Amino acid sequence: MSVIRKTLVLAAVLATALGAVAASAEGYQDLASQVREFTLPNGIHFLVLERHDVPVFSFNTYVSVGSAQEVTGITGIAHILEHMAFKGTAEIGTTDAKKEALAMRAEDVAFAALKVERLKGDLADPAKLAGLEQAFTDAKDAARAFVVSNEFGQIVENNGGRGMNAGTSTDETSYMYSLPSNRLELWAYLEGTRMSRPVLREFYTEKDGPVTEERRMRTENSPIGMLIEQFQNLAFMAHPYHHATIGWMTDLNTITRQDCETFYRTHYVGRNMTVAVVGDVDFDEVKRLAGKYFTGVSAAEPPVIETFDAPQKGERRMVIEDEAQPFYICGFHIGNWAHADAATYDAIADILGQGRTSRLYERLVKQDKSAVQAFSFAGYPGDKYPTLLAVLGMPAKDVSAEQLEAAVLEEIAKLVDGGVTEEELAGVKRRARANFVRSLEGNMGLAAQLSEYQGKQGDWRRMFSQLEAIDAVTVQDVQRVAAEVFVPNNRTVAFIKTVEAAN
């Protein structure tokens, strides 16, 4: 699962939340005072919020690694690791761990031989290739013979667990579920063992099946998906956001289990991990169990990304001609979450294109009826690093993407030239406060937010000070930042131009 925007992720997570927490705009600071924390010697940071309303707890393990950490040849590997998350451990998910390990090694050898022949391209020997394909299929079948399918998930479910899920984006990978409070040690054992000693069981089966199928569905067979991916490739060049989280198909076809093990050892280290536990738990008990089960995670220093794009010097534009309906997307480079104007970016995106009262919706969907949908958001495809303020639109019947673009640029020009009203900005602040309070309504949502703020921004307390930043935004800030951001040289554009099918 990829995340375009943090609030969308939180909305989905909150739908599975257990243990509702009563919180109000006046009470969230009290909630902040209840969070306690500790760090293990290997660097894993734990956040614990005791809520004893009902006998359940939720957790979120936030790993500060996503597709931004990938390099050419292994794109998509962070997402593959997400798919490996709940395949089990050396003790869970297998009938014989030692024999399975030997079978997996044979599987690796068979794939390595097949990969060598495949990479010969047109020079590959068809007969040899067919034989190697069959040998690899046989090796996969032999390794799978030891697998107890979904045993990990069944243990969680049989012990009252709910909402088991995982997600990958450009900036992070998260793992989560909820359990009854008397299953805290079971959770610590399962999560700590899984993180300390990962078993990449059914690696090739999962990679060559669900992962590549997801790639086909999202991009290969989706003109809009393909457009959005190529828009991202065009907007970012040297930048770590250059490629989509799903990865390139050629990389998915050639990534090995050894590649995945190396990536895991490099990035799944304690200093990249934050675990938030929220619900009917005892802080001291969480701390004791963390020390018992999570100490096997590596204490190595994670690598730091150093390569980014130079400032864009001219508009970048791409047109895809296809039979599909027209679609439009443009993006303007902005700073990351730590930029002094980050809250202003969010305010601009809200006023321009979020919700039925936004300027784009009012003009394009309701007034002109030139679009069936139009919206904007800051932070595409992530916000840990310099990013984009994006505008997307789906034209109505008989309206071209070029016509829609003209209207979008008109609305942007109005915002730059005329600014925004105090009333519009007040609406942004009301919505921000309401959305924030809603995000505190469940254990799972709280765990997700706490771990993300700690993992990405280095301090979970920023979660509770975010409203101060948006409250400080002025109409002058909005006009100043809009004038800086919305310039043609800072713009990347991509759209689908509908053409008739060739006879």
Confidence of residue 501 (pLDDT cuts 50, 70, 90): confident
Confidence of residue 485 (pLDDT cuts 50, 70, 90): very high
Confidence of residue 436 (pLDDT cuts 50, 70, 90): confident
- Rounded Cα distance between 225 and 245, Å, is 12
- By the 8 A CB rule, do 169 and 130 touch? no
- By the 8 A CB rule, do 252 and 76 touch? yes
Nearest C-alpha neighbor of 286 from the set 366, 179, 368, 214: 179
Flag the least confident range among 78-92, 269-283, 379-393, 489-503. 489-503
| CA angle (32 as vertex; 26, 36 as ends), nearest 5 | 160
Flag whether pLDDT at 18 surpasses 90: no
Nearest C-alpha neighbor of 49 from the set 37, 61, 63, 40: 37
Summary mean pLDDT of the chain: 92
The 10 Å Cβ neighbour count of residue 327 is: 23
Mean pLDDT (whole number) for 122-137: 96
Mean pLDDT (whole number) for 331-346: 97
pLDDT tens sequence across 164-214: 999 999 999 999 999 999 999 999 999 999 999 899 999 999 999 999 999
Flag the least confident range among 14-23, 173-182, 245-254. 14-23
- Rounded Cα distance between 123 and 120, Å, is 5
- By the 8 A CB rule, do 186 and 159 touch? yes
Share of the chain above pLDDT 70, in %: 94
Flag whether pLDDT at 7 surpasses 90: no
What's the pTM? 0.91
Question: What is the pLDDT, as a whole number, of residue 387?
Answer: 98
Nearest C-alpha neighbor of 152 from the set 118, 199, 113: 199
Confidence of residue 28 (pLDDT cuts 50, 70, 90): low
How do the domains of the chain map onto residue ranges?
A: 316-498
Query: What CATH number has the domain spanning 316-498?
Result: 3.30.830.10
Share of the chain above pLDDT 90, in %: 88
Mean pLDDT (whole number) for 149-161: 96
Alpha carbon distances (Å) from 241 to 59, 69, 284: 28, 9, 40
Question: What is the pLDDT, as a whole number, of residue 503?
Answer: 61
- Rounded Cα distance between 177 and 255, Å, is 29
- By the 8 A CB rule, do 125 and 117 touch? yes
- By the 8 A CB rule, do 55 and 441 touch? no
Flag whether pLDDT at 466 surpasses 80: yes
For residue 35, what are its two tokens?
């969070």
- By the 8 A CB rule, do 327 and 321 touch? no
Mean pLDDT (whole number) for 364-371: 95
> Higher-confidence residue: 56 or 442?
56
**Which residue matches tokens 């406060």?**
433
Residue 179 has φ and ψ, to the nearest 5°, of -145, 160
pLDDT tens sequence across 64-115: 999 999 999 999 999 999 999 899 999 999 999 999 999 999 999 999 999 9
Question: What is the pLDDT, as a whole number, of residue 6?
Answer: 39
Confidence of residue 437 (pLDDT cuts 50, 70, 90): confident
Confidence of residue 27 (pLDDT cuts 50, 70, 90): low
User: β-pairing, 273-279 with 45-50?
Assistant: parallel
- By the 8 A CB rule, do 360 and 408 touch? yes
The string over 175-201, giving b where at least 16 C-beta atoms fall within 10 Å of a residue's C-beta and e elsewhere, is bbbbbbbebbebbbbbbbbbbbebbbb
Instruction: Tell me the three-class secondary structure of 352-420, residue by residue.
Output: HHCCCCCHHHHHHHHHCCCEEEEEEEEEECCCCCCEEEEEEEEECCCCCHHHHHHHHHHHHHHHHHHCC
Confidence of residue 500 (pLDDT cuts 50, 70, 90): confident
For residue 228, what are its two tokens?
């959005």
Flag the least confident range among 10-24, 52-66, 303-317. 10-24
